[in-house]
């Protein structure tokens, strides 16, 4: 087979593969949606806000290695706003946020395990004495772009 025929066959195979994958000229390979998280109720402007975006309940709300996305922002005028890009295919999410006042990247707690820094979740799930908030209580449906979620920090 001549090299020209071989090149033509490879080109045709690549074209077929591109069509089968659903890619079209001028369209991005993956689409994303913008999620804005507004956090207020902060007791100080020290430190930073850590926001964890979840698409499943396993590890919620503290095992950050199981999150869909993590964002970190400074506090301005007693509040913080986090902008995160998430896959557009994710329709149901939950958010946990932490006020890392001392900037060490972890939730500090006392000897009884009670948090010393602020934390909260989407849907403003109240704190409980029997354990952390549940994913299903914090879960919300992405609506619009940007989707805006307001969270009040709890201490």
In the chain, where are the structural domains located? 32-152
Q: What is the CATH class of 32-152?
A: mainly beta
Residue 136 is predicted with a pLDDT of 97
Instruction: Give pTM, 2 decimals.
Output: 0.79
What confidence tens digit (pLDDT) does each residue in 36-81 have? 999 999 999 999 999 999 999 999 999 999 999 999 999 999 999 9
In our burial notation (b when 16+ CB lie closer than 10 A, e otherwise), range 2-18 reads: eeeeeeeeeeeeeeeee
30's tokens: 């993956």
């Amino acid at each position: 087979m001549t090299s020209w025929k071989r090149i033509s066959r490879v080109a045709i195979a690549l074209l077929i593969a591109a069509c089968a994958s659903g890619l079209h000229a001028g369209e991005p390979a993956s689409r994303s949606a913008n999620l804005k998280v507004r956090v207020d109720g902060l007791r100080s402007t020290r430190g930073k806000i850590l926001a964890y975006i979840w698409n499943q309940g396993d590890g919620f709300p503290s095992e950050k290695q199981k999150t869909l996305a993590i964002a970190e922002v400074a506090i301005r005028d007693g509040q913080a706003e986090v902008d995160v890009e998430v896959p557009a295919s994710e329709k149901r999410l939950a958010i946990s946020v932490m006020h890392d006042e001392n900037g060490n990247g972890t939730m500090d707690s006392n000897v009884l395990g009670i948090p010393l820094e602020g934390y909260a979740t989407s849907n403003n799930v109240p704190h409980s004495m029997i354990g952390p908030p549940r994913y299903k209580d914090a879960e919300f449906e992405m609506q619009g772009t940007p989707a805006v979620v307001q969270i009040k920090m709890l201490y």
